[in-house]
Amino acid sequence: MASELIEALTPSERESLERAIAAGLAPTIQRLPMLQAPGVGMALLFLGDPAFIAKFSVGYVEGFAAGFLDGAKLWRDEFTAMLRLVGVGTIVGVAEFFVRPLVESDPEGLMPQSKEALSRLNSLRTLKPVLLWLDAVGMETALDTLRHLIPTADELTEVVILAGRDWLLALCGKAQDARAMGTQCGRLFGRLALELMRGGVEPFSFGVAGSIENEMIATEEDRL
Amino acid sequence: MNFVVHELVLLATKTKYGRRVNKWSMRVFGEEVARFSQRDLSMEAARIAQRAAQRDFAESVRLVEAFVIMEAKDIFESLAGKYPMLRTYHLDRGSMAEMIRKVMDRKGRSLESLRGLLVEALGRNIPETGELLDAMEFVRKRANKALKKKWSPARLVSGVRDGTERELGDLLVVSENADGRVWIMAIIESKSFSNVTDLSTHGDRKVGQHLWDWRRAKTRGVSFEGRHYKAQDVVIEPVPAAAWGGGAYVPKKKSAADRVREMSGYYTEFIGFAPQEMSVEKLGNLADQGIQLEYWPWPFDKNEFDRFQKDLTAAVDKALRR
């Protein structure tokens, strides 16, 4: 499956990814303290395997898609749960929700707090393109996003250096081979891309179900 | 893992990669969404990271609240035909919605508290309340003129709390002074059969709720409409029991002339708004506290009110569970 995914990239895209990983990630790996148990395996693998970057890249693509889709599924579940919470799908239906306002534009006799809450409800409608996108999101979307968001070497370096190496150790400490390490790293970057997309468009006033998030975190902890 | 997501998102928003993702998302979601939610990722990094790591359930709750407020309007229409007292006492869709919002704002969201809010809402619009307000306004003007003070017009307020955020009274008549003081001119406590004894006792002691309100206001201060008045700035003193010719217990509403006469200082009128079917014994207990307590009987039928409360609670409950 992973090899099929990476073949979805053009040779030049694949080359860009490998170059970025080699230039952005390798120095960090090389600087890992050899005496620290979590870093030893990774550093030894990197130093001893000439195909490390290629294998890591295969895993990265696989992980990116998985992380991206995990985040998208969470977002979609929360979005639709929120619509259900406000009655869409039970009394008016999603289509109708996006066609007409649920609430009068200026209801009379309400206090400012109530008007504000109603206005938030109505503004959900503005996110129609997001819901449509979430409805259609799948592997193809994930790969399309990956193609457009292959980090350049300096971008990758910037993120990795900023993040420091603790998370990297935590991330890769349990991985047994280069591809698994790539998968773990890619999963984080896929999730990261999705969260940045989400953070950029989702109004802060819209909540999402914490319980779903907690389930997701528990699942990811198991994976690690 | 949660921590890693938080850290990564926080850091990445400030990188070139973060900016590239942002541009990409604008392409994906289109200009309308971009215009609606355009923001500088790096400025909002902490919030975005926080949201990514742990979703904020409280906001969802507010959206549910918005939905139920909206439902409240329909609930009102469905009940208004069946219960004419709603229109008689000028309850409308807006006040119904506000009542439900208050229930949802309260801890535990107990629909039991609807009863108190209902009585309070109806109590605002009975003739007694209007007459009380007129009399207090007369007293206020008289005080300003005689003492050269600047007390603001008497008005009704609800949702008053003491300094520890506990509710204080259901409906109050207050007047504020430019010097930072508030004069509590009247406290109306709404009671039903189940808790009417609160008017006359607190545990084993014959100290009713009004006296507790008085004590809390005197020691903890009061807050309403976003402003807090320290204890020393709260003017509240029971009208002397002897001021009423008939003794401490006042079995029915006073006339405007009675009020104006007995409010000869910075006093406070204590009023209990309770079912008209209260027993003589319970009414008698009100007089044992040594303070003057006026009793306003509900002007509506208790059974009708009970049916209405039951129907309303069921309707709100249904909306909440949907």
pLDDT tens-digit series, residues B22-40: 888 888 887 666 555 555 6
DSSP-based helix, strand, coil % in chain B, nearest 5: 55, 15, 30
Interface of A with B in 111-150 (CB under 8 A): 111, 113-114, 117-118, 120-121, 123-124, 126-127, 129-130, 133, 145, 148-149
| CA B150 – CA A23 distance, rounded (Å) | 76
pLDDT in tens, B245-267: 555 555 567 888 888 888 888 99
Contacts of B21 in chain A (CB under 8 A): 149, 192-193, 196-197, 200
Residue partners of B92: CB distance under 8 A and separation at least 6: A109, B76
Sign of CA dihedral A111, A114, A118, A120: positive
Instruction: Output the pLDDT for position A8.
Output: 84
Q: Which of B33, B55, B77 is the last residue of a domain?
A: B55
pLDDT at A90: 47
Single out the residue in B55, B70, B92 at which a domain terminates: B55
Same domain, residue pair B224 and B134: yes
pLDDT of residue B234: 95
Query: Which run of H or E residues covers position B250?
Result: strand B249-250
In terms of domains, do B167 and B236 share one? yes
Q: Is A53 left (phi over 0), alpha (psi -120 to 50) or beta?
A: alpha
B285 and B309 in a single domain? The answer is: no
Tell me which of B151 and B4 has the higher pLDDT. Answer: B151
* A224: Cα separation from own chain's centroid: 16
- Using the predicted structure, report yes or no on whether residue B231 has a pLDDT greater than 50: yes
Domain that holds residue B89: 58-120+302-321
> Quick check: A86 and B63 CB within 8 A?
yes
The pTM (predicted TM-score) of the whole model is 0.49
Between B302-321 and B113-124, two packed helices, what is the crossing angle to 10 degrees? 120
Tell me how close the Cα of A48 comes to any Cα of chain B, in angstroms. Answer: 28
A219 touches chain B (CB under 8 A): no
pLDDT confidence of residue A184? 76
Tell me, yes or no, whether B238 and B314 share the same domain: no
The share of chain B scoring above pLDDT 70, in percent, equals: 67
pLDDT tens profile B119-141: 778 888 888 899 999 999 999 99
A151 pLDDT band (50/70/90 cuts)?
A: confident
Q: What is the pLDDT of residue B137?
A: 95
Distances (CA, A) of A222 to A42, A66, A209, A216, A217: 20, 15, 21, 10, 9
Do B290 and B246 share a structural domain?
Answer: yes
Residue B108: band (very low, low, confident or very high) from pLDDT cuts 50, 70, 90: low
Tell me whether residues A167 and B26 touch, CB distance under 8 A. no
CA neighbor of B297 nearest in space, from B84, B83, B119: B119
Using alpha carbons, select from B13, B4, B6, B18 the residue that is nearest to residue B50: B6
B125 token code pair: 């619009």
Cβ neighbours around B31 below 10 Å, total: 11
Residues B139 and B269 grouped into a single domain: yes
Structural domains counted in chain B = 3
Provide the pLDDT for residue B26.
81
Greater confidence, A146 or B202?
A146
Query: From the list B16, B49, B54, which residue is nearest A213 (CB)?
Result: B54
